[in-house]
Structure 1
Amino acid sequence: MTLAQWFIFFLIVQVVHFIGTWKIYEAANRKRWEAAVPVYNAIVLMKIINRPTWWTILLFIPIVNLIMFPVVWVETLRSFGKNTTLDTILGIATFGLYVMYVNYTQPLNHIPNRSLESNSKGADTISSLLFAIVVATIVHTYVMQPFQIPTSSLEKTLLVGDFLFVSKFHYGARVPMTTVAAPMVHDTIPVINTKSYLNKPQLPYLRFPGFEKVEKNDIVVFNWPVDTVYKFFDRSTRKADKPIDKKSNYVKRCVGTPGDKFQIKDGVIFVNDQKLILPERARPQFSYTVTTNGTPLNPDYVIRDLKVTDAVYQTAPNTYLFSSLPDDEAARLKSNPIITGVTKNISHEAEPSVFPQNNNGWNKDNFGPIVIPQAGKTVPLTAENLPLYKRIITVYEGNDLKVSGSEIKINGQIANSYTFKQNYYWMMGDNRHNSEDSRYWGFVPEDHIVGKPVFIWMSLDSHGSGLSKIRWERLFTTVGGDGQPYSYFKFFLIGLAAYFGITFFMNKKKQA
């Protein structure tokens, strides 16, 4: 839905609200017209039902309002003596239309100072639970979201089994575009494995101001632009047409920002003709072929000394393939007396699967140059460069594109150039030969950006068992920053012990 369509829908809702509640307003000694004024009518209604004015804000927060509307319907009924279980069920089951029925058919005796105390322990538990869900949904949507690392594309920096907190406010919290969805889950409701949302209606893209912009070398969580899978690891023929904010969450390193000239030469990234200098914590990896003098490689040496946990294959006598190995570890391999050769496997053959899939000779190690699209910038359109921008023009920016020979038409008009409506980014994994990233599906639109990982609160090693399954050195470490990661877990434990100690002391003192 466009902004104009949403405005019309909002006006229709206001008309329905006025028709269904004006007698209720009058019965509460308010003016009839107060039921017709948008936003103000909600403020007045909060006074009628004896609830705080700030509840009005919750009615306009997507997802949260799905919880608040039923609450307000029930509270309105109770403010006029409709307290039975049947009244509550009818109020919710009819999507508030039961309030309209009461408005016209029942005696309206307003209870201005009714008690807000729950009549039963069960009702009190439900109220507390609803409040907790509302608060958690606001935090999850606009402040901080938990996230688990599912793949090894950022291995050595972020590990499979890391559990992160992703900040929504660093780049600016994105208002949910999917308006009807279960709170605090992504695309699937756990346990019952059912889709958690409705595709329509959709809000236009809107993002609150952030504290910073996406910069080169930032690790970023974003919605996978080409996602059509029902489940993250399920690439079967079963497809799903997902809204932007319900596409699978990916995490990669931003290596190109809007307006940058981007190129990869023999596995090395160049931005604006300068080699991209990665932060100290980043450890890019490549596949290597290693040969020995006939002595087999000791698996304990590979795992314990080289810290290599990814696959190592013996491809021929005395020959091994390391699927992902950092350059410094490759250098250490060379110093082993049984090693006779260490070769980085740099591709020079064309890979048709590489973006933009038009057989231009590019591959994962030699790519470009390209210029990353920037909002407001105009590029000439030709048959040669159209594959780079085709998905942007049609899918991300919603235009109709038709090509006939050398003639390009956008929205029915002949086009020799195109002006981008939003910014785009280039995202890649540090595990360069084991990462499905922008090299294969192209640019990441700004409206797909979710947030910035800031904190690892838990890290589990699938190869461990018991307490050794926990990577203790990674607990409570920051994702970014200078130098090597440092765990603040001991300070957390000290703070937790202090909190419980002080609480115990205060309770004892109060009892005395």
Structure 2
Amino acid sequence: MAQYFSILLVLITLGTGLVWALDRYFLAPRRREALARAEVSTTGGLDEESREKLLAEPGFVESCRGAFPVIAAVLVLRSFLYEPFQIPSGSMMPTLLVGDFILVEKFAYGIKDPVWRKEMVATGKPKRGDIIVFKYPEDPSVDFIKRVVGLPGDKIIYRNKQLYIQPACPEGQKDCPTLTKIGSVDKGQGQYFLGNFALDRRTETLGEVEHDILVNPAFPDRAGDYYQQAGTRRDEWIVPQGQYFAMGDNRDNSRDSRFWGFVPEQNLVGRAVFIWMSFEMDRQPDSWLPSWVPTGVRFGRLGPIH
């Protein structure tokens, strides 16, 4: 849907811009010429009402002239700077909750054209720990949001709910990084639940980013459903060049790279940077209002995303 909206926005911008340009450089001069001829041929000149009538823009031209700069500004802002997204699921809890509205920095990983998504200007690459929005590799019409865990060349292991990372070894370096267990600090249970099961909340550090994750101790690893990369064990992956390994912070309630593989660089949309609105969405089934109507505003959640 987002891709279709981008195409529609481009078409509307081009359409209104062409009408505006056609009027300014072709139709408006013709109206002025018609006014000049009418004034020459009329004894005593034209009255003000007649002059305004001859110079008046057609209604659709006036509408396009007024809409074009607004739509063009929206296109530039949404395509190259920041785009709003809504969090639809709990896969990134506790960092992002259902009902959070976020801004995604579109220029963080390259400036791309809004239709074919080809990179025009390189601006940077994802870092370990970044929260990224990307086109779901199995269905590019769907936007996903996850956290970058593995960079190109990294070895990733997720076993018994524990994450291990062996960073890529730069070419020519003799002392290569070793496989490291990603440490976490237990923050207890009781704040988040999956059904009747209390989830463990832990603080984890990826690169320079410290963030919280959720783990369900009652839920077994689904290693049998993991993506099987050729030449590795079921719960091990080596990130190919130009691709990334992404996981949800809600580790047992996230369909991520463990299940479908890697995120190609060309699928990147941008980096999630700010929560600009957060609605509580806990309406009870017996409420007379639709479930999509918010029950409150979580002002305390507004601010930068980590």
Alignment of 1:274 onto 2:186: no
Partner of 1:470: 297
- Match for 1:469: what amino acid? G
SS at match of 2:71: helix
SS at match of 1:344: coil
- Match for 1:208: what amino acid? V
SS at match of 1:72: helix
SS at match of 2:111: coil
Give yes or no for contact 2:129–2:147 (8 Å, CA) kept in 1.
yes
- How many residue pairs match? The answer is 243
SS at match of 2:90: coil
In structure 2, which of residues 113, 121, 128 is the aligned counterpart of residue 208 of structure 1?
121
Partner of 1:225: 137
Alignment of 1:344 onto 2:217: yes
Partner of 2:21: 72
Alignment of 1:166 onto 2:41: no
In structure 2, which of residues 147, 155, 167 is the aligned counterpart of residue 261 of structure 1?
155
Partner of 2:4: none
Q: Deviations over 1:406-428 (max 9, x none)?
A: xxxxxxxxxxxxxxxxx100111
In 1: Cα distance, 2:62 partner to 2:69 partner: 11
SS at match of 2:125: coil
Partner of 2:279: 460
Partner of 1:447: 266
Q: Deviations over 1:215-240 (max 9, x none)?
A: 1111001111101xxxxxxxxxxxxx
In 1: Cα distance, 2:29 partner to 2:294 partner: 57
In 1: Cα distance, 2:276 partner to 2:221 partner: 41
In 2: Cα distance, 1:470 partner to 1:444 partner: 33
- Match for 1:146: what amino acid? P
SS at match of 2:280: coil
Q: Indicate the structure with greater strand content.
A: 2
Matches within 5 A, 1:291-330: 306-312=190-196, 321-322=197-198, 324-327=199-202
SS at match of 1:81: helix
Distance 1:348 1:223, change over 3 A: closer
- What are the ranges of 5 or more consecutive residues in structure 2 without an aligned counterpart? 1-8, 33-54, 167-178, 204-215, 285-292
In 1: Cα distance, 2:74 partner to 2:56 partner: 22
In 1: Cα distance, 2:279 partner to 2:96 partner: 12
Q: Which deviates the most, 269-278 or 167-176?
A: 269-278
Q: Deviations over 1:463-499 (max 9, x none)?
A: 1699961012112x1102xxxxxxxxxxxxxxxxxxx
- TM-superposed CA distance for 1:66, in Å, is 4.9
Give yes or no for contact 2:282–2:295 (8 Å, CA) kept in 1.
no
Say which one has the larger Rg. 1
Alignment of 1:81 onto 2:30: yes
Matches within 5 A, 1:74-223: 74-79=23-28, 81=30, 119=57, 124-176=62-114, 178=115, 203=116, 205-210=118-123, 212-223=124-135
The two structures, once aligned, show a CA RMSD in angstroms of 3.5
In 1: Cα distance, 2:61 partner to 2:23 partner: 12
Distance 1:167 1:258, change over 3 A: same
In 1: Cα distance, 2:271 partner to 2:240 partner: 21
Q: Indicate the structure with greater helix content.
A: 1
- Match for 1:257: what amino acid? L
In 1: Cα distance, 2:75 partner to 2:222 partner: 49
SS at match of 1:137: helix
Give yes or no for contact 1:67–1:134 (8 Å, CA) kept in 2.
no
The TM-score normalised by the length of structure 2 is 0.68
In 1: Cα distance, 2:158 partner to 2:271 partner: 25
Distance 1:139 1:250, change over 3 A: same
Partner of 1:372: 239
Give yes or no for contact 2:281–2:295 (8 Å, CA) kept in 1.
no
SS at match of 1:71: helix
- TM-superposed CA distance for 1:361, in Å, is 6.8
Partner of 2:5: none
Q: Deviations over 1:325-377 (max 9, x none)?
A: 4258xxxxxxxxxxxxxx924636751x321389x873xxxx11x21111xxx
- Match for 1:347: what amino acid? P
- Identical aligned residues as a percent: 28
In 1: Cα distance, 2:304 partner to 2:68 partner: 32
- TM-superposed CA distance for 1:68, in Å, is 2.5
Q: Deviations over 1:302-336 (max 9, x none)?
A: 9xxx2225422xxxxxxxx44x44258xxxxxxxx
- TM-superposed CA distance for 1:127, in Å, is 1.9
Q: Deviations over 1:178-227 (max 9, x none)?
A: 3xxxxxxxxxxxxxxxxxxxxxxxx47224222x4201111001111101
Give yes or no for contact 2:80–2:107 (8 Å, CA) kept in 1.
yes
In 2: Cα distance, 1:137 partner to 1:349 partner: 42
Distance 1:261 1:142, change over 3 A: same
Distance 1:266 1:310, change over 3 A: closer
Give yes or no for contact 1:455–1:478 (8 Å, CA) kept in 2.
yes
In 1: Cα distance, 2:150 partner to 2:187 partner: 16
In 1: Cα distance, 2:182 partner to 2:103 partner: 27
- TM-superposed CA distance for 1:462, in Å, is 0.8
Alignment of 1:355 onto 2:252: no
- What are the ranges of 5 or more consecutive residues in structure 1 without an aligned counterpart? 1-60, 84-116, 179-202, 228-243, 286-301, 313-320, 329-342, 375-422, 481-512
Of structures 1 and 2, the one with the larger relative CO (CA 8 A, separation 6+) is: 2
- TM-superposed CA distance for 1:163, in Å, is 0.3
